[in-house]
């Protein structure tokens, strides 16, 4: 009975941790639409506000590992919950721009520490044959949190100071997670010996030799310094190579940017601006939730390597297809900030917020705030892609300061029927009608890419990272890899438009396809299979340089 309670509470902690992470990342898109009016925010101030969470998260990834290793995973989660409650209260009661920035930085710090501690704590708490399922549950929570944030953005869009409710509602899941973890033990529940583990079928040791070796060498927790990550001791250098390789390939296969252009790909198959925003965010978010559930079901059966390699092959094929089809039927991929610079275009967008985009081809088909953040419906920790996407495209709001608000609030007073009519998907008059088949292939390829990422790199990267390091340095090693993930995400997102200007959209996506195939080779050569093995056994196998 106690084991079942531990299992259910571990699942709840993992799910709520992901939910809070996804919610905090997604909620800023809707809140910005109101904040820019209520606080008269310039373009620069909006960039500061959006990047404040990223700065807080980067700081946490640099110091959070020490907190997790020195003071324990459970205490780190409890502290992050308290910090998150403080940050949410600061945001809810904020009366100035400085208050908002401090609140977002505090929230960013808290969700970054929580994300690392949750994955490590749950991986150590549950039996080997359920570890994949429960750590992947965190990723499922992220995608659900993002969808929830979009729903609440919509609900509070027309409420006066609705952004206070948006920020304040994060308090509920945070309090639930805090209470849940109080009932969980400080240290993982250990069975009496290796032999009992083997008898209960929790660990499938590779051979009789391994079993004998495990019994002869009782597992002793060792102490490591941070620099040991780069030394040959216990094969730590190879473990660091595996960790960094996974987080960097996760970014360099194009995930931050494929979703950033989702709305334009939806538009190219004939959907209008507002329906494009809804379909791209909610539709792709729903696909990600389903794909992550599939990954959860198969993580402990098929194994980590199989899901990672299969996901990479599908991702490489998908982005290569998008690259080839866009050479034949080019998509309108103008920079938002340049596109909105035409005074006539900005005037028409403000005057007719629900006008079909086909009649204003120079304007981005979706307001930057809501368009950018849907790219978060992405990996747990790599979900920051949206933040960088938002402030990369935010400049367009300086030219058309009220356009996105006009779109959001232009709906007030309309009946539901009128709203549906104005956002429906008219296929007549779409600018790319002659290439409609190719555009649908592009759309399906993008959906395949999103699904493959959610089955492979999305959940599996963090699952493998929570398994391959010894307990004594697991927190610091995880945080080290996580900081590279945030930095690579920032680099990729900010350089994307410059690279498109330099080499073209189709070549950019073909390059992502090549990176995907390189990722398959890397995983095949370096990433070990860890399913069905205890964390101690994984550590001993690495230490023996197998």
| CA angle (222, 121, 147) in 5-degree steps | 150
- Looking up residue 246, the CATH number of its domain turns out to be 1.20.1250.20
- Per-residue CA distances from 242 to 100, 119, 175, 291, 415 (Å): 38, 17, 35, 24, 55
Q: Does one domain contain both 112 and 18?
A: yes
Q: Does one domain contain both 150 and 279?
A: no
DSSP codes, 144-165: HHHHHHHHHHHHTTTSTTHHHH
Exposed/middle/buried for residue 498 (C-beta within 10 Å: 0-12, 13-18, 19+): exposed
Q: Does one domain contain both 172 and 282?
A: no
Q: Does one domain contain both 443 and 539?
A: yes
Mean per-residue pLDDT over the chain, rounded: 75
Q: Does one domain contain both 133 and 245?
A: no
Tell me if 251 is assigned to some domain.
Answer: yes
Q: Does one domain contain both 179 and 285?
A: no
Of 161, 183, 205, which residue constitutes the final position of a domain? 183
Q: How many CB atoms lie within 10 A of CB 85?
A: 18
Lowest average pLDDT, out of 103-107, 319-323, 423-427, goes to 423-427
Q: How many CB atoms lie within 10 A of CB 423?
A: 18
Q: Does one domain contain both 4 and 117?
A: yes
Q: How confident is the model at residue 434 (pLDDT cuts 50, 70, 90)?
A: low
- Per-residue CA distances from 449 to 190, 313, 452, 456 (Å): 40, 10, 5, 10
Q: Which residues contact 61 (CB under 8 A, 6 or more apart)?
A: 112, 116, 479, 482, 483, 486
| pTM tops 0.75, yes or no | no
pLDDT of residue 76: 93
Q: What is the mean pLDDT of residues 388-400?
A: 37
Ramachandran class of 225: left when φ > 0, alpha when ψ lies in -120 to 50, beta otherwise: beta
Tell me if 152 is assigned to some domain.
Answer: yes
Best CA proximity match to 309, nearest among 537, 527, 36, 520: 520
Tell me if 540 is assigned to some domain.
Answer: yes
Locus of tokens 């499938």: 204
pLDDT, tens only, 38-55: 998 887 888 788 888 888
| CA angle (49, 33, 386) in 5-degree steps | 55
Q: How far apart are CA 359 and CA 429, in angstroms?
A: 9
Chain centroid, CA 458 distance in Å: 7
Q: How far apart are CA 261 and CA 254, in angstroms?
A: 11
Beta carbons of 374 and 317 less than 8 angstroms apart = no
Tell me if 499 is assigned to some domain.
Answer: yes
**309 or 30: whose pLDDT is higher?**
309
Count of domains for the chain: 2
Q: Does one domain contain both 248 and 169?
A: no
Tell me if 380 is assigned to some domain.
Answer: no
Domain membership of residue 281 as a residue range: 230-331+436-545
Q: How many CB atoms lie within 10 A of CB 201?
A: 11
DSSP element (H, E) containing 103: helix 97-125
């Amino acid at each position: 009975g106690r084991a079942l309670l531990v299992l259910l509470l571990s699942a709840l902690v993992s799910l709520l941790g992901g939910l809070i992470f996804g919610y905090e990342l997604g909620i800023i898109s809707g809140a910005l639409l109101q904040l820019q009016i209520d606080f008269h925010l310039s373009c620069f101030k909006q960039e500061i506000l959006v990047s404040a969470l990223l700065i807080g998260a980067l700081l946490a990834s640099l110091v959070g590992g020490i907190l997790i290793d020195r003071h324990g995973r459970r205490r780190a989660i409890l502290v992050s919950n308290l910090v998150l409650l403080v940050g949410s209260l600061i945001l809810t009661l904020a009366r100035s721009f400085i208050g908002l920035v401090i609140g977002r930085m505090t929230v960013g710090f808290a969700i970054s520490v929580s994300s690392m501690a949750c994955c490590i704590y749950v991986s150590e708490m549950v039996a080997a044959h359920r570890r994949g399922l429960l750590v992947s549950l965190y990723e499922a929570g992220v995608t659900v949190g993002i969808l929830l944030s979009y729903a609440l953005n919509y609900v509070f869009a027309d409420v006066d100071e609705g952004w206070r409710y948006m920020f304040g509602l994060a308090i509920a899941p945070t309090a639930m997670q805090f209470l849940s973890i109080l009932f969980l033990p400080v240290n993982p529940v250990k069975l009496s010996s290796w032999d009992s583990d083997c008898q209960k079928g929790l660990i499938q040791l590779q051979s009789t030799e391994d079993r004998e070796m495990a019994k002869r060498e009782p597992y002793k927790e060792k102490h490591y310094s941070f620099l040991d990550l780069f030394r040959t001791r216990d094969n730590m250098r190879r473990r660091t190579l595996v960790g960094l390789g996974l987080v960097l390939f996760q970014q360099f296969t194009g995930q931050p940017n494929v979703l950033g252009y989702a709305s334009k790909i939806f538009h190219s198959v004939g959907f209008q601006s507002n329906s494009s925003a809804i379909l791209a965010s909610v539709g792709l978010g729903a696909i990600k939730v389903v794909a992550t559930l599939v990954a959860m079901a198969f993580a402990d059966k098929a194994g980590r390597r199989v899901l990672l390699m299969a996901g990479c092959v599908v991702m490489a094929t998908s982005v290569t297809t998008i690259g080839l089809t866009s050479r034949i039927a080019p998509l309108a991929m103008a920079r938002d900030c340049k596109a909105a610079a035409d005074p006539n275009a900005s005037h028409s967008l403000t005057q007719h917020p629900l006008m079909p985009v086909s009649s204003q081809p120079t304007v981005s088909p979706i307001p930057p705030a809501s368009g950018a953040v849907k790219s978060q419906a992405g990996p747990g920790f790599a979900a920051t892609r949206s933040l960088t996407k938002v402030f990369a495209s935010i400049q367009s709001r300086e030219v058309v300061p009220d356009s996105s608000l006009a779109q959001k609030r232009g709906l007030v007073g309309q009946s539901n029927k009128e709203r549906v009519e104005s956002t429906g998907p008219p296929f007549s008059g779409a600018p790319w009608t002659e290439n409609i088949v190719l555009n649908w292939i592009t759309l399906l390829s993008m959906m395949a890419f999103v699904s493959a990422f959610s089955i492979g790199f999305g959940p599996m990267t963090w699952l493998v990272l929570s398994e391959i390091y010894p307990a004594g340095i697991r927190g610091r090693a995880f945080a080290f890899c996580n900081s590279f993930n945030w930095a690579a995400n920032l680099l990729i997102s900010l350089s994307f438009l410059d690279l498109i200007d330099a080499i073209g959209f189709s070549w950019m996506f073909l390059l992502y396809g090549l990176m995907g195939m390189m990722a398959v080779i890397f995983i095949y050569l370096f990433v070990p299979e860890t399913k069905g093995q205890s964390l101690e056994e994984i550590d001993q196998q690495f230490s023996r340089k197998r």
